[in-house]
Amino acid sequence: MKAIRVHQFGGPETLVTEDLAVPNPGNGEALVRLEAIGVNFIDIYQRMGLYRSALPFTLGNEGAGVVEETGPGAGEVSAGDRVAYAGTLGSYAEYAIVPFSRLVKLPAGIDAGTAAAAMLQGMTAHYLTHSTYPLKPGEVCLVHAAAGGVGLLLVQMARRRGARVIGTVSTQGKAELARAFGADEVILYTSQDFEIEVRRLTGGKGVQVVYDSVGRTTFEKSLNCLAPRGYLVLYGQSSGPVPPFDPQILNAKGGLFLTRPSLGQYTATREELLWRANDVLGWAASGELKIRIGARFPLSEAAEAHRQLSGRKTTGKVLLTP
Ligand SMILES: NC(=O)c1ccc[n+]([C@@H]2O[C@H](COP(=O)([O-])OP(=O)(O)OC[C@H]3O[C@@H](n4cnc5c(N)ncnc54)[C@H](OP(=O)(O)O)[C@@H]3O)[C@@H](O)[C@H]2O)c1
């Protein structure tokens, strides 16, 4: 089978296509023939070595396809089932080995591309809006990178919970997209001061929560956008890591809360994984949640997909096709 491998950490040019033997599923594992592969920002961090995996490895954390074969052990899936998963390394390939415990069966009426586009970023938007800071009707949230993969899903789920959504994006085209997906107001944070704009849009009060995946370039002003006792949910670092931080600042700025969560912590049990995945896939299947696939590349062009994602050229989901 073809697989995209990392032998040394670095830029997109370090991704190499290799021929590997199709692996055999072990105890509690399934062999999945992938039909669609999700590209996520975490793939870029792992390729660069910002998040370390033992070299060499097959990149990719998300996919959807058909169970080809199951290993020994009890599980909810069998050969022929249509499935999707997120959070198991090795999906940039034609086949992947996935533990039964991470696989979710697809509901009727959802294709593999939509499922691979919805799983990782959809469950992320789900835990951010339902669990990390459970939004209540009438509250105001700020969503950075609102036209991105997580961004467009976060905007929709925040609206679904009855919140008013202010988004930030880098271009007019992305602003139109974020509005079309439900953002009430959109700020061009590349040409406008988003702190001043948020203060203006909230009558000086600030927002209850900032969902910040951009990190280094937004972190400090994100704190300044919060109402007293507001939450800064820092869940990514697309612009780079946030430098060391004095917690006394949280006191000085109004008794603020800061958290740095990851999807794994919010899908730690089978029950929690199924709650989030079934909500996301169910809403996607019924059309309640719009899934935008902004770009598709053949598996062999994974490096180009990375260039476009890290170069802020993409909107919504980026997929690879094996
Ligand atoms: N903690 C978790 O559980 C979790 C799970 C999933 C994703 N994430 C994080 O969420 C973020 C979004 O992931 P995604 O896969 O959906 O990507 P994405 O949002 O589709 O792409 C990243 C976006 O970040 C914005 N950005 C701002 N400054 C940037 C810079 N210097 N370089 C690159 N991009 C910049 C760009 O939007 P504009 O052009 O509009 O600025 C860009 O399109 C990532 O930081 C990722 O690590 C975290």
Does residue 72 register a pLDDT over 80?
Answer: yes
Ligand 1 nearest-atom number relative to CA 236: 45
Q: Is the CB of 237 under 6 A from ligand 1?
A: yes
Give 219's pLDDT tier (boundaries 50, 70, 90).
very high
* Per-position DSSP letters for 190-222, written without gaps between them: TTS-HHHHHHHHTTT--EEEEEE-S-TTTHHHH
Burial of 173 per CB tally in 10 Å (0-12, 13-18, 19+): exposed
Per-residue pLDDT tens digits for 269-282: 999 999 999 999 99
Percent pLDDT > 70 in the chain is: 100
Per-residue pLDDT tens digits for 93-136: 999 999 999 999 999 999 999 999 999 999 999 999 999 999 99
Pocket probe mutation, ligand 1, options 150, 169, 192, max atoms within 8 Å of Cβ: 150
Give 56's pLDDT tier (boundaries 50, 70, 90).
very high
Q: What is the mean pLDDT of the chain?
A: 97
Pocket probe mutation, ligand 1, options 37, 40, 41, 131, max atoms within 8 Å of Cβ: 41
Ligand 1 nearest-atom number relative to CA 174: 40
Please compute the mean of the pLDDT values over residues 2-21 and round it to a whole number: 98
Does residue 319 register a pLDDT over 90?
Answer: yes
Per-residue pLDDT tens digits for 297-318: 999 999 999 999 999 999 999 9
**Which pLDDT score, from 0 to 100, does residue 66 have?**
98
**Which pLDDT score, from 0 to 100, does residue 312 have?**
98
pTM over 0.85? The answer is: yes
Does residue 75 register a pLDDT over 90?
Answer: no
Rounded alpha-carbon distances, angstroms, from residue 65 to 78, 149, 181: 13, 20, 27
- DSSP one-letter code for 93: B
Ligand 1 nearest-atom number relative to CA 149: 16
- Distance from residue 312's CA to the centre of ligand 1 (Å): 8
Does residue 68 register a pLDDT over 80?
Answer: yes
Q: Is the CB of 40 under 6 A from ligand 1?
A: yes
Give 74's pLDDT tier (boundaries 50, 70, 90).
confident
- Distance from residue 148's CA to the centre of ligand 1 (Å): 6
Q: Is the CB of 41 under 6 A from ligand 1?
A: yes
In angstroms, the CA 197 to CA 90 distance is 42
Please compute the mean of the pLDDT values over residues 198-207 and round it to a whole number: 98
